[in-house]
Structure 1
Amino acid sequence: MKRTQWKIHGEHLVDENRHIRLSTVDVELPDGVKFTQYVARMPHCAMTLVLNENREALLMYRHRFIIDKWVWELPGGYVDGAEDVAAAAAREVEEETGWRPRTMDHLVTYQPAIGTLDQPQEIYLARGADLTDTAPDINEAEDLRWVPLDEAIAMVGRGEIVGAATVVALYRALSLDV
Structure 2
Amino acid sequence: MRWKIHSERTLYQDPWVHLASADVELPDGRHLDHRIIRTAAPGAGLAIVINARVLLIWRHRFITDTWAWEIPQGSIRPHETPAAAAVREAQEETGWRAEGPITPLVYVQPSPGLLTSEHHIYTAARAQHLGPPEDAHESQTIAWIPLTDIPALIAKRDVVAGTTVAALSLLLCAPR
Which stretches in structure 1 are left out of the alignment for 5+ residues?
none
Q: Which one of 145, 155, 158 corresponds to residue 156 of structure 2?
A: 158
**Greater CA drift, 127-136 or 154-163:** 127-136
The 5 Å alignment of 1:28-47 reads: 28-42=25-39, 43-47=41-45
Shift of 1:120: 1.1
Question: Using the alignment, how far apart are the partners of 1:114 and 1:144 within structure 2?
Answer: 30
Q: Which moved more, 1:134-143 or 1:79-88?
A: 134-143
Structure 2 counterpart of 1:11, from 4, 8, 12? 8
Q: Which amino acid aligns with 1:58?
A: L
Contact 1:94 1:134 in 2 (8 A): no
Could you list the runs of 5+ residues in structure 2 that have no partner in the other structure?
A: none
Instruction: Identify which of 99, 107, 128 aligns with 2:96.
Output: 99
Residue correspondences, number: 174
AA of the residue aligned to 1:18: P
Deviations 1:53-78 (A, max 9, x none): x1100010111111111111100100
Alignment of 1:50 with 2:29, yes or no, is no
Provide the secondary structure at the position in 1 that maps to 2:144. strand
User: Could you tell me whether the CA contact under 8 Å between 1:41 and 1:117 is conserved in 2?
Assistant: yes
Identity %: 37
Residue by residue over 1:128-160, the C-alpha shift from the partner in whole angstroms, topping out at 9 and shown as x without a partner, is: 210013534221010101000110222011100
TM-score with structure 1 setting the length: 0.93
1:177 & 1:67 partners in 2: Cα distance? 34
Moved over 2 A (4+): 133-136
Give the aligned partner of residue 170 of structure 2. Answer: 172
